[in-house]
Structure 1
């Protein structure tokens, strides 16, 4: 019988190369995982996108003007049967005017209203008031979210 088995002299060199390769890969991958804890401490909070406005007050006023325009053109008698939709492309808000009531405040004509507003801040109900000034221009007196 003839012995055809190879010697073990070549496997030692192969094992050393494999160990070196695995060590090198381990060192490269440790760089990816080792800095993960520092990400939470290095966030720059001074940066913001323009997609979501920072100041809510300016959007409230822009929406109030849009709602005021819709309220001033509405027939108060027909609003209870058919709510008035509105949208403000500048702020991205939209809603439905549910109630418009007209009244006299001395010589001025005023209208109080209730509307919903769907915005980046969420969905809310707003109450407002607008009156005709002496020049025939509707002016927003109040526009505030219900609490």
Structure 2
């Protein structure tokens, strides 16, 4: 007979059984005792305000608006400096190293109305927040500089 079988045959079964009963009773009574003593409650839990991280900006909309304004200026500079006659309908690529955005300017047309010179265009903007299409109009001001008249997302 094996040693395990001999241990059970020799009357130690009662010792093993009483020990396992004790373990089961302790396992069941400890959680109940914790609940009865007040235990953990989500209603009593409070937010730990001492933990501070800088992983997310406090106002996420502000940088997005600043990035779009910076990209608008970059697109305006590309439109104003383009030689439309030499382009022959080709797209003008643009990139803004400050924001990481890039895209292409297409459908650029120069219009002259009563002495006012304007350029209408379409532009794509690829950035970390997605891809967007814009329509815009840039006009030559009296002082000789270009001014963005319209720039809207489609």
The two structures have a TM-score, normalised by structure 1, of 0.66
Alpha carbons of structure 1 residues 15 and 66: separation in structure 2 relative to 1, 3 Å = same
CA contact (8 A) 1:101 1:112 kept: yes
CA contact (8 A) 1:111 1:130 kept: yes
- The structure 2 residue matched to 1:104, chosen from 109, 112, 121, is 112
Matched length? 133
SS across alignment from 1:13: helix
Q: How does 1:1-147 map to 2 (within 5 A)?
A: 4-21=10-27, 24=30, 35=42, 49-50=56-57, 53-55=60-62, 57-77=65-85, 78=87, 80=89, 82-146=90-154
Structure 1 unaligned blocks of 5 or more: none
SS across alignment from 2:72: helix
CA offsets, 1:41-72, max 9 Å, x none? x8xxxx99239840455443322111011111
Question: How many Å separate the matches in 2 of 1:25 and 1:87?
Answer: 62
CA RMSD of aligned residues (A): 3.8
CA contact (8 A) 1:79 1:100 kept: no
CA contact (8 A) 1:112 1:129 kept: yes
- Measured after TM superposition, the shift of residue 105 of structure 1 is 3.4
CA contact (8 A) 1:126 1:145 kept: yes
